[in-house]
Structure 1
Amino acid sequence: MQFSEQWLRQYVNPALDSEALGHALTMAGLEVEGLDAVGAAFSKVVIGKIISADKHPDADRLQVCKVDVGATEPLQIVCGAQNARVGLKAPCALVGAKLPGFDIKEAKVRGVESFGMMCSAKELGLAEESSGLLELPEDAIIGQDIREFLDLNDKLFTLKLTPNRSDCLSILGVAREVSALTGAVLTLPQSESVTASAGAKKQVVVQQSAECPRYTGRFIREVNASAVTPAWMVRRLERGGLRSISAIVDVTNYVLLEMGQPLHAFDAAKFQGDVQIRFANPKEQIQLLNQQQVELHPDMLVIADDTGAIALAGIMGGASTAVSDTTRDIFLESAFFTPEVIVGKARRLGLSTDSSYRFERGVDYGNTLFALERATALIQAICGGEAGEITEVLAPLPVRKPVTLGMTKLVSVLGISLDEATVERLFNQLGFHYENKAGVFTVTPPSYRFDISIEEDLIEEVARLHGYDNIPAIAPQDIVTMLPSSEGTLSRKWLSDILTGSGYQEIVSYSFVDESWEKELLGNPESIPLKNPIASNMSVMRSGLWGGLLDTLVYNLNRKQDRVRLFEIGATYARSAKGYHETTRISGLAYGDANPEQWAESAREVDFFDVKAEVDMLTNGRAEYRAAQHAALHPGQSAQVYLNGVAIGWIGKLHPKWQQHYQLARGAVLFELDVAPLLESSVARYVAVPKFPPVRRDLAVVVDEKVSVRALLKTMTEANIQYVYDIALFDVYRGKGIAENKKSLAFLVLMQDTQKTLTDAETDAAMSALVELIVRQHDAELRK
């Protein structure tokens, strides 16, 4: 929102200079993004009138002019501008004037004395280019300071408004805010109701009253559409960021900037039938004022006549009914369209207009009729014409529901003591209607404040007007106590410490990933799409972490890092018939040599079992691995990881097709596990240190290749055979003496009794029980 300071001070003039006013607005939440002077700094430039212009005796392109600057005698000035002529009024820099980049002194130009300089807009710093002297109107007063005449001592404020403060998208809205902040008197623009002198009245049919609950319009006949827009209005428009187009359009834009109410003027002669407010018909088209031909969607509200759509409601008018210099009769429209029906429509068509920007955020529906009267009066003052009666179609308007504010809540949130009288004063400054009963305020927001809907909004208003800098910064105080920590639950840092201690580096990647990763890399056809992705390659939520690890691997390889260890702990997302689910997982990747390069050990590539060792540490050796296939993993080198009989993740070597896809020279090994099961831990229990020595026995058995070591260990340990407290594998043998598809496994068995030394009979009985168990359940044979 950009506006002229002088225009603002016409409605409210606080005793603050420009910088102080800007600071007050910023501290109240209306950030002043820019405060710039309208014109460059210069001095001693007045309005001069050329009273004679004679050819220079020694230069064909120069003239020796006599210029009246309001002094006793005219000045002699040599001028080379093409448009210099007798009777022209233009800026004249006097001797001693300081212009942008140079000073004016007495000089001789080709032998003729010159006591000043006639100026163009470029020389005054008002334009980048100019073709001649800046021509001034006939009513310009000779000798008047040009800065005063052109209001060049004005400054431009640029506000960076948040979307909820649509009430400040006008001079009137900002003036209300300044009045509330400073207590300065607010002088509203005056416009008495225009007397209807023309009998014409247009029939208006509003088919979508919910989307357009208020529509007003009137005929203005016999206007002079070619009238010249007053210079003061042109200046205010330009300083508000709008260019002058024509008198009638300029008036509608002026009221837009002044009151925040978009208006539109139609050429009444181009109307066919009644005015209709309806949704667009299927495949209906319209040519807009910018000459853009668009196909409308059925959810777009239009202004139409019997021929079809003639304007896109709240966004832009149509070319078919545009006002031109030959227009004689106009139909002036002022309406309220709900934000919901306007929002997003302009963007869908690649448009951005001042009208849609305001309607999307909310326009004051209580100001619709007054804005029409204001625009009518300005049009009549500039273009003449006779106004007809106002046609108004009114439906139930949005209800501004009362909002309650309790003093207890206010003091609790702000942390300062305020009395009820102070709060009442602040609400009065804001123009809020309220009731106060026992310290509970019931406030009815005005029609222009769309942002007041909950108690916290009122607390913010009180804080803004009281002054954020008047609220002391008090450090919070609390009693610091140690939080409880369950021995049955480990921390995520414990997992990170294990992997960082093994040479892994942690990464953090986006939760938004490419849809192809989900479908092809992770084999997930039911990915969760984002409604508004930040990029085309980040369109779905991830169900696994491997995509980010592989991308980071490629990034490191491209920077000559040939040995990479990465891990990530992050959320993954899935959906089912019951809804969406979020699971925290830990994932790792190993690439390159198993160990850093060194002289004492031969180089070898990292393999499945190297990474399995890390997974065993993460699971405290409790993991069980079952061969299974995954879309991202090598079919013969992948397994699903189980903990307590429940699948918690995967481990395996990257599939050759993905190795080729990522252009990896060597294979990568990956794993991914659910974090929650890994953090479960049994509470440590004290066991007395035995006084008697343990007994070791070795057990060698022959089993089928398909029988896993873990299955044998599980069978023997879960049997809880008396005296047996530890069993471990120490040898695997295949070869001579062992049948094909068989293998020999050797286990050490440790036995102990805490009360006495074990006898041979007791250890033999325990070993016999173990042998009988594995023979029966796994068809094992004692190795001979």
Structure 2
Amino acid sequence: MKILVSWLESWVKHAAPLDVATLAERLTMAGLEVESVEPVAPPFTGVVVGEIVEVAPHPNADKLRLCTVDVGQGEPLAIVCGAPNARVGLKAPCALVGAQLPGGLTIRQAKLRGVASFGMLCSARELGISDDHAGLMELPADAPVGADIRRYLQLDDAVIELKMTPNRADCLSVLGVAREVAALTNTSVTPPWAPGTVTERDHPLSPQAPLVPSAGFTAGRAVRLDAPEACPRYLGRWIRGVDPTRPTPEWIERRLRAAGLRPIHFLVDVTNYVMLELGQPLHAFDAQQLAGDITVRWARDGERLTVLTGDEVTLDAATLVIADAQGPVALAGLMGGLESGVRTTTTEIFLESAHFTPSAIAGRARRYGLNSDAAHRFERGVDPEGCRRALERATALILEIAGGEASEVVVAETPAHLPVRSAITVTASRLAAHLGVPVNADDAARWLEREGVATQVVGETITAVPPSWRFDLAIPEDLAEEVARLIGYDAIPAQMPEISAVMGQSPETRRARHAVRHFLCTRGYSEAITYAFVEKRWETEVLGNAQPIALANPIAAPLAVMRSSLIPGLVEAVAANRKRQVESVRLFEIGRCFLSAEPITAVTQDALDAALAHHQPLKLAAIAWGTAEPGWTEAGHRAVDFFDLKGDLEALFTPETLAFERVEHPALHPGRSASVWLVQGKERTQIGVIGELHPKWARHWELKPAPVVFEIELEWALARRKPEYQPLSKQPMVTRDLAFLVPEGRSAAELIAVARAAAPQALQSVWVFDVYQGKGLPEGMKSVALRFRWQHPERTLTDAEIDEAVVQIVDALAAQCAATLRQ
């Protein structure tokens, strides 16, 4: 938002002119960041208002002309000029001999094609005012000849550029910033027009027009609101008999240029000027192009409209439009239609001033690729009480500039849909708690009243009702911020907060995530962080997830869904390392995965809430690929296998017991993968999977040999058994080795579990030390050799006790696993 300082000063009356540096500092400290303060024009000297009194052809050049220019110094000057708009009676800036122009150019007496020239007539770009270089800068007919151009055009003025946060749409106007300045300086806002008028006071074009035209003709057309929830208030006025040839006043053009807008035509310029001044976007239609009544409604799917940029857009039912009897003529709050737009021949207009709710406009500009200053304001919120004021201001300016006759104002509104500012209650102690400094209720109320907030103080309780233009004030914290802004953030003393240091509690039955990370790092793993957004193909094909959670606005086409597993991301990381000739990779990741909610089985509120809430578990995954020990000689080279990763996982859970069962997983090798179970007494809980990457995906990622991965629920790795002291037994240990013939489908883990359950007394450990399949064994059978160790904590075990335990184990394995003791 760019504003001329003089324009702002015309709204806030001070005993002395505002110091620009101080103003910028106060605004910044109040939360309205001033990005820059720039002069209207760069420094230059020796330029005055000149009037061309005679134009003659150049004797030696077809494109040059010899102009006689009156500069108010007696004898006129002969100046050679090539501008296409040079003509008798034109007033333009004239740089005299000796003038210093922007860029270091010094004007000297010169000869152009043999003809002496005693100065230079200037364009706006040559003076650094704008980029317009199409011709001479044309000045108003009443510009005083010989006047210093900097003083006449107020080029010593400054432009301040404010960086507005989205919640402060009320400051996207001169009026809004003036309110802020008045509140900060404890002055009042005074409109720059005389009481009862809406035009510039003391300006030559200001005939002190009344606020409402004294004689307004009857419009004869109605305005209807078919979407009151999106447009609760719509005002319109017809103006006829306008002179379309009238130029835009210089003071309006000057302020528009300073704000970064290019003057176009006085009707368009007036609507832009009032929008900058009052914050209310307006639109002018060519009334002769409108048919019948005006309707504000939602578009119908498939309707088409060519907008002012020349683009044709196809509308949908979520777009608000302004329509006449023949169809849409404008995108509400965004952009007008090309056919109904004003042009250089327009003599009758329909002027629109409406309040559109932010939700009805938000996102439409991006959807259609049509950005506009109006949409920028309506998306953030516009004062609903400013419609009439802006309409009257624009009407008076148009009548003042181009004459004509205005109709009565046509009003359509549904008060029930207009925004209401609710009261906010806060105590002085709560304000003090937020600000960190003592706050008096009466003082806080006075600060708030400067911003137009109606307040009532009872004791230390403040009841505040925000004004219609402050959409950002809704909760007590907003009032605290408002008081802080007005006091000035720099005025609030910086002091160290008092913090009670409380030692964090970490129960012995739980370990921190950092401990898990540290453990895996000590075993040679490095932590990885991969995208939570993944390719849809990863989910559907690699993981078998038929319904991944899709993103509404993916940052890139390949990253279109949320991950349900960490495995594909780690595999991608290993593949990237392999391409960089890394011979061994071990990675782990702790991250959140995203699983779709269970389908709705009953139409209840609880079921609906559950369906909307996606399950987002934290998981731990690790991957190992390449050589088991990097740097080994070729003779000792061995690839990482399933049992390397299994050992790391079991070490992570020590002293807990893990069990592994064959499982089918779409991402893993069908014969080299298992589900992971946590065994706690008689309870078993499945906590994840482990296995070698499926050959299909190993080929896809060009990984040979295939990497090994595991993925578990992180919560189970964080929970651990409370450490308990167990004295070491001094008694001798008894070892028995038993070999069993079992069907090939039986797993060693199943044999060990059955054996432990059959003879738990004094059994310290049992593990597999040999597996044999092949010659000498019955078909479909294998030999599994188990080593058992018993040790009693207090006495020596007898042979009879061991023999009895062995019999119990053999019987249990025979009954439950079809195992026979191998002789």
Contact preservation (8 Å) 2:237, 2:351: yes
Flag the 1:13–1:770 CA change in 2: closer, same or farther, 3 A: same
Aligned twin of 2:226: 207
- The 3-state SS of whatever aligns with 2:444 is helix
**Structure 2 unmatched runs, 5+:** 199-210, 600-609
110-119 or 626-635, which moves further after superposition? 110-119
Contact preservation (8 Å) 1:314, 1:359: yes
Contact preservation (8 Å) 2:563, 2:593: yes
| Structure 1 position 285 matched with structure 2 position 292 | no
| Structure 1 position 616 matched with structure 2 position 650 | yes
* Deviation of 1:115 (Å): 6.1
Aligned twin of 1:35: 37
2:540 to 507, 516, 519: 519
Flag the 1:601–1:13 CA change in 2: closer, same or farther, 3 A: farther
The one-letter amino acid paired with 1:647 is Q
CA deviation profile, 1:302-353 (whole Å, cap 9, x unmatched): 2222222222222222233332333332222212122222222333222122
751-760 or 227-236, which moves further after superposition? 751-760
Contact preservation (8 Å) 1:201, 1:390: no
CA deviation profile, 1:554-575 (whole Å, cap 9, x unmatched): 3223323232211111111212
- The 3-state SS of whatever aligns with 2:617 is strand
* Deviation of 1:601 (Å): 5.0
Contact preservation (8 Å) 1:106, 1:113: no
Aligned twin of 2:179: 176
The one-letter amino acid paired with 2:356 is F
Aligned twin of 2:739: 700
CA deviation profile, 1:482-527 (whole Å, cap 9, x unmatched): 2222111222223222321222111112222222211111111121
Aligned twin of 2:294: 275
**Mapping 1:175-194, distance limit 5 Å:** 175-190=178-193, 191=198, 192-194=211-213
CA deviation profile, 1:376-425 (whole Å, cap 9, x unmatched): 11010011011221221232122211111221211111111111232022
Tell me the distance in 2 between the aligned counterparts of 1:475 and 1:449. 33
1:156 to 150, 156, 159: 159
**Mapping 1:246-261, distance limit 5 Å:** 246-261=265-280
610-619 or 733-742, which moves further after superposition? 733-742
Flag the 1:61–1:730 CA change in 2: closer, same or farther, 3 A: closer
Aligned twin of 1:711: 750
Flag the 1:754–1:614 CA change in 2: closer, same or farther, 3 A: closer
Flag the 1:601–1:25 CA change in 2: closer, same or farther, 3 A: farther
**Mapping 1:31-430, distance limit 5 Å:** 31-49=33-51, 68-71=70-73, 89-104=91-106, 109=111, 117-127=120-130, 130=133, 133-190=136-193, 191=198, 192-396=211-415, 397-430=418-451
Aligned twin of 2:201: none
The one-letter amino acid paired with 2:168 is R
1:555 to 573, 576, 581: 576
- The 3-state SS of whatever aligns with 1:623 is strand
Tell me the distance in 2 between the aligned counterparts of 1:200 and 1:60. 54
Using structure 1 for the length normalisation, give the TM-score: 0.93
Tell me the distance in 1 between the aligned counterparts of 2:131 and 2:310. 29
**Mapping 1:632-671, distance limit 5 Å:** 632-644=667-679, 645-671=684-710
* Deviation of 1:468 (Å): 1.1
- The 3-state SS of whatever aligns with 2:10 is helix
* Deviation of 1:80 (Å): 6.9
Contact preservation (8 Å) 1:104, 1:116: no
Aligned twin of 2:598: 576
* Deviation of 1:85 (Å): 6.9
CA deviation profile, 1:738-772 (whole Å, cap 9, x unmatched): 44433333333333333333343343334343334
| Structure 1 position 7 matched with structure 2 position 7 | yes
Contact preservation (8 Å) 1:93, 1:104: no
Aligned twin of 2:207: none
RMSD: 2.9
The one-letter amino acid paired with 2:627 is D
Aligned twin of 1:757: 796
Tell me the distance in 2 between the aligned counterparts of 1:374 and 1:114. 46
The one-letter amino acid paired with 2:526 is Q
Flag the 1:525–1:721 CA change in 2: closer, same or farther, 3 A: closer
Aligned twin of 1:502: 523
Tell me the distance in 2 between the aligned counterparts of 1:755 and 1:652. 42
- The 3-state SS of whatever aligns with 2:594 is strand
1:469 to 477, 490, 497: 490
Tell me the distance in 2 between the aligned counterparts of 1:282 and 1:696. 83
- The 3-state SS of whatever aligns with 1:368 is helix
Flag the 1:85–1:383 CA change in 2: closer, same or farther, 3 A: closer
Flag the 1:232–1:703 CA change in 2: closer, same or farther, 3 A: same
Contact preservation (8 Å) 1:11, 1:175: yes
Flag the 1:674–1:50 CA change in 2: closer, same or farther, 3 A: same
63-72 or 341-350, which moves further after superposition? 63-72
Tell me the distance in 2 between the aligned counterparts of 1:526 and 1:491. 33
The one-letter amino acid paired with 1:498 is F
Tell me the distance in 2 between the aligned counterparts of 1:83 and 1:394. 49
Flag the 1:601–1:226 CA change in 2: closer, same or farther, 3 A: same
Aligned twin of 2:208: none
CA deviation profile, 1:442-493 (whole Å, cap 9, x unmatched): 1111111111111111111111111111222322332323222211122222
- The 3-state SS of whatever aligns with 2:616 is strand
Identical residues among aligned pairs (%): 46
* Deviation of 1:260 (Å): 1.2
**Structure 1 unmatched runs, 5+:** none
Contact preservation (8 Å) 1:204, 1:275: yes
Flag the 1:661–1:755 CA change in 2: closer, same or farther, 3 A: closer
CA deviation profile, 1:361-380 (whole Å, cap 9, x unmatched): 21111111111111111010
Flag the 1:723–1:339 CA change in 2: closer, same or farther, 3 A: closer
* Deviation of 1:731 (Å): 3.0
* Deviation of 1:226 (Å): 2.4
* Deviation of 1:430 (Å): 0.6
| Structure 1 position 604 matched with structure 2 position 607 | no
414-423 or 767-776, which moves further after superposition? 767-776
| Structure 1 position 687 matched with structure 2 position 706 | no
Flag the 1:56–1:353 CA change in 2: closer, same or farther, 3 A: closer
Contact preservation (8 Å) 1:697, 1:748: yes
Tell me the distance in 2 between the aligned counterparts of 1:688 and 1:247. 98
Contact preservation (8 Å) 1:68, 1:74: yes
Tell me the distance in 1 between the aligned counterparts of 2:411 and 2:81. 59
* Deviation of 1:44 (Å): 2.9
Tell me the distance in 2 between the aligned counterparts of 1:132 and 1:294. 36
Contact preservation (8 Å) 1:51, 1:67: yes
Flag the 1:104–1:707 CA change in 2: closer, same or farther, 3 A: closer
Tell me the distance in 2 between the aligned counterparts of 1:448 and 1:21. 23
Aligned twin of 1:585: 619
Tell me the distance in 1 between the aligned counterparts of 2:693 and 2:789. 40
